[in-house]
Chain A
Amino acid sequence: MRRKASLILLALAVFFAALSPLLRWYAYPRLAKVPAGQYQDMVLEAKDATLLDYATMTAEKVDRITVVQTLKGDVEASRKVERTTDRDVVVWDGLSYVQGPDGEMVSSFPERYVFDAHTQEPVHAAGEAVDGDPVRRGGIEFKWPFRTEKRDYEYFDAQARLTAPIHYEGTQDFRGLEVYYFEQTIPWTEVPLPKTLPVEGITAESVAKTGTTRWYTTVRRFWVEPVTGAPVYGEEIHREELRGGALLGDRDKVTAFAGHVKMREDYIRHTVDLVGSQRLVLLLMTTYLPWGFLVLGAGLLALSLYLEARGRRPGDPVPAEARASEPLSA
């Protein structure tokens, strides 16, 4: 009976010991991915911002600018790209919709971002675009890879349509979560005019004809939870100017937008809760279960060996059946 029990324990010990590395190095890399059908929205605000009134072409102080950012996974489009690339792909349609204090549209900025579901590396496929212009991203956008490292990453700036380093600036505590702080500065750069402008009759083409150009600079800050690679908080110190051309009269430049854009408080709380729960699931696969199974396997192996050793101890009484079958000798 003891031999049988020790064999069962041995089988269980090997089962759990094998499960540990298989879970960490086989299952986790295949299962940790951004779902193709993800949908999420985010609200950011800039208080006491400066905004251009296109009717008078003068910059005005406003109480608040609101940015509504939506990301929506297109599952059919991702399946189509997967057939040609042989990778798990996510296609996100994004919209950054900016509202002035009166609720009127200030700008509407659509994007299509195609990326690898596991590594978050950009995937170049038809349809990759920013505000209707085809682009080729050279770095990540919106989300960092799972198991984010303490290093600089290449980050795509949609306004300037360029990829530049975003620097790792240290580890911090953000509302109970350990996060990596990243910062990117885009110096003053000439950028295309948005396709959608807030005043009827004024288009990007009509502005461009006057010789006026749009310039932009930003300091982008992200606090990224490293297990999930998800930003739990973000800020942008964003400035835009229109420069030169007949549209500005005798002025060299006018501020089109200036503000410190921050995530709204209720969205910060929601994001921290969401990322905290996703972090736990990923840690179960990478740390808690593999180590737990390894310890359990070792314990079961020790128990199995102990039972086996007890079953073989020389001082133990010989079973009655064995005694009965022993031959008699004179």
Chain B
Amino acid sequence: MRALIAAAAGLALAVALVLAFTALGSAEGETSPEPLLTTVPSHP
């Protein structure tokens, strides 16, 4: 019984961690203030 509880705790922690990590998501960012270029940049 104790083994079952330990396994369930491990599983719940993994699911909670991945759900939280995914909910945070990757940053969208903001629209860049840089213009669409009409001059040749000297370097990237």
Residues of A within 8 A of B (CB): 3, 7-8, 10-16, 18-19, 22-23, 26-27, 30-31, 33, 35-39, 41, 43, 66, 68, 70, 72-76, 78, 93-95, 97, 99, 105, 108, 110, 266-267, 270-271
Shortest CB-to-CB span from A39 to chain B, Å, is: 4
Query: Which of B14, B29, B44 is the one whose CB lies under 8 Å from A14?
Result: B14
Shortest CB-to-CB span from B8 to chain A, Å, is: 8
Residues of B within 8 A of A (CB): 2-3, 6-11, 13-15, 17-18, 21-22, 25-32, 34-41, 43-44
Shortest CB-to-CB span from A212 to chain B, Å, is: 27
A30:B14 contact, CB within 8 angstroms: no
Question: Given A35-B28, A75-B31, do A95 and B11 touch, yes or no (CB 8 Å)?
Answer: no
In this complex, what residue of A is CB-closest to B13? Answer: A15
Question: Given A26-B18, A27-B22, A73-B32, do A66 and B10 touch, yes or no (CB 8 Å)?
Answer: no
What B residues does A99 contact at CB under 8 A?
40
In this complex, what residue of A is CB-closest to B34? Answer: A39
Query: Which of A8, A19, A30, A271 is the one whose CB lies under 8 Å from B6?
Result: A8
What A residues does B38 contact at CB under 8 A?
68, 95, 97, 105, 108
A35:B27 contact, CB within 8 angstroms: yes
B37:A75 contact, CB within 8 angstroms: no
Query: Which of B11, B30, B32 is the one whose CB lies under 8 Å from A18?
Result: B11
B6:A75 contact, CB within 8 angstroms: no
What B residues does A271 contact at CB under 8 A?
44
In this complex, what residue of A is CB-closest to B4? Answer: A10
Question: Given A14-B7, A14-B10, A15-B11, do A41 and B29 touch, yes or no (CB 8 Å)?
Answer: no
Q: List 10 A-B contacts (CB under 8 A).
A: A16-B14, A18-B14, A22-B14, A26-B22, A35-B27, A68-B38, A73-B31, A73-B32, A95-B36, A110-B36
Q: List 17 extra interface pairs beyond A10-B10, A11-B10, A37-B31, CB under 8 A.
A: A7-B3, A11-B13, A18-B10, A18-B14, A22-B15, A30-B22, A31-B26, A37-B28, A41-B41, A43-B41, A68-B40, A72-B32, A75-B31, A95-B37, A95-B38, A97-B38, A110-B36
Query: Which of B15, B26, B40 is the one whose CB lies under 8 Å from A33?
Result: B26
A12 to B35, CA, bound (A): 50
Q: Which of A11, A30, A36 has the most CB of B within 10 A?
A: A11
A43 to B42, CA, bound (A): 9
A75:B28 contact, CB within 8 angstroms: yes
A15:B10 contact, CB within 8 angstroms: yes
Shortest CB-to-CB span from B31 to chain A, Å, is: 5
What B residues does A35 contact at CB under 8 A?
26-29
A158 to B26, CA, bound (A): 30
A118 to B30, CA, bound (A): 18
Shortest CB-to-CB span from A116 to chain B, Å, is: 14
What B residues does A76 contact at CB under 8 A?
31
In this complex, what residue of A is CB-closest to B28? Answer: A36
What A residues does B22 contact at CB under 8 A?
26-27, 30-31
In this complex, what residue of B is CB-closest to A95? Answer: B36
What B residues does A97 contact at CB under 8 A?
36-38
What A residues does B40 contact at CB under 8 A?
43, 66, 68, 99
In this complex, what residue of A is CB-closest to B36? Answer: A95
What A residues does B26 contact at CB under 8 A?
31, 33, 35
In this complex, what residue of B is CB-closest to A301? Answer: B7
Query: Which of A13, A68, A73 is the one whose CB lies under 8 Å from B37?
Result: A68
